[in-house]
């Protein structure tokens, strides 16, 4: 499917407009506030708002994405933030679904928000993300919830594209992982025609046991 390829995302990021709000994702702000800054990996980082937010709080961050155009855009924004923040950030081009995928290093926090998986790739992609969490570290995954498909015109209607939190948690071996949050919180956003709609996120926060 095209929406999982570099070409699809490069084309989207090539336009003049920014695609996302520039603000960090609320679930990251809520969860990372409880963590001591260390090393972090953000996969599917897009324009880098989560990367920037972490780096500004003292984290050393790698932002990874399939789109080199997105990474260039994110790096330009990081450079504008000044040398102290920019020095804490690295960028990596990666295709999480590729057969040629090279494993990540390990990090104290692995964050991935709204990077949606081809259904047949989901468990392998989740295992690749989980493998990048160090002992004692956190895995924070956020997806649009499948119930958002009940809102006409809001999301691409691709069966299996969106995951519940329990589907995100499914590949984690519970002897190795402690589940801290497995939830589907609601929030209100502007929907089609700028009408407010109530959507749900799937949120998984798990800690790798020491
Ligand atoms: C919906 S955007 C989310 C961006 C950012 N996490 C945010 O919340 O603003 C999904 C991102 O995942 C990236 N992506 C899509 N497929 C990918 C893949 N196979 N490997 C790595 N990143 C991918 C896209 O380029 C895009 O930046």
Nearest CA to ligand 1 atom 3: 114
The per-residue pLDDT for 17 is 87
Range of the domain at 69: 2-15+23-152+161-208
The per-residue pLDDT for 126 is 97
Query: Using CA atoms in the order 166, 55, 35, 122, what is the torsion angle rounded to 10 degrees?
Result: 10
Nearest CA to ligand 1 atom 27: 46
**Could you read off the pLDDT of 169-203 as tens digits, one per residue?**
999 999 999 999 999 999 999 988 889 999 999 99
Tell which residue, 140, 138, 129, 150, has the closest CA to residue 200: 150
What one-character-per-residue DSSP string does 53-112 give? HHHHTT-EEEEEES-HHHHHHHHHHHHHT-HHHHHTEEEEE--TT-TTPPPP--EEEEEE
210 residues of the chain, pLDDT tens digit each? 577 789 999 999 998 888 988 899 999 999 998 899 999 999 999 999 999 999 999 999 999 999 999 999 999 999 999 999 999 999 999 999 999 999 999 999 999 999 998 889 999 999 999 999 999 999 999 999 999 999 888 998 887 889 999 999 999 999 999 999 999 999 999 988 889 999 999 999 999 999
Atom of ligand 1 nearest to the CA of 113: 6
The per-residue pLDDT for 3 is 77
Q: Are 43 and 115 in contact (CB under 8 A)?
A: yes
CATH classification of the domain holding 38? 3.40.50.150
Atom of ligand 1 nearest to the CA of 96: 20
The per-residue pLDDT for 10 is 96
Q: Are 41 and 104 in contact (CB under 8 A)?
A: yes
Give residue 111 CA to ligand 1 midpoint distance, Å: 12
Indicate the top mutation candidate among 53, 66, 70, 155 to test ligand 1's pocket, ranked by most ligand atoms within 8 A of CB: 66
Q: Is the CB of 51 under 6 A from ligand 1?
A: no
Count up the domains in the chain and report the number.
1
The per-residue pLDDT for 156 is 85
């Amino acid at each position: 499917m095209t929406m999982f390829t570099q070409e699809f995302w490069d084309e989207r990021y090539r336009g003049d407009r920014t695609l996302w709000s520039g603000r960090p994702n609320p679930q990251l702000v809520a969860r990372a506030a409880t963590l001591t800054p260390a090393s972090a990996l953000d996969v599917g980082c897009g324009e880098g708002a989560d990367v920037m937010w972490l780096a500004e709080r003292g984290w050393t961050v790698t932002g990874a994405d399939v789109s080199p155009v997105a990474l260039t855009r994110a790096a330009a924004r990081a450079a504008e933030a000044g040398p102290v923040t920019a020095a804490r950030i690295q960028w990596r081009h990666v295709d999480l679904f590729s057969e040629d995928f090279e494993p990540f290093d390990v990090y104290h926090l692995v964050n991935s928000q709204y990077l949606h998986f081809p259904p047949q790739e989901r468990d392998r992609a989740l295992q690749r993300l989980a493998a990048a969490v160090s002992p004692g570290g956190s895995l924070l995954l956020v997806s649009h919830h499948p119930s958002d498909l009940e809102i006409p015109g809001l999301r691409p209607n691709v069966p299996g594209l969106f995951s519940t939190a329990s589907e995100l948690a499914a590949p984690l071996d519970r002897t190795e992982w402690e589940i801290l949050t497995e939830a589907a919180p609601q929030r209100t956003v502007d929907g089609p025609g700028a009408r407010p709609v109530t959507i749900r996120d799937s949120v998984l926060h798990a800690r790798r046991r020491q």
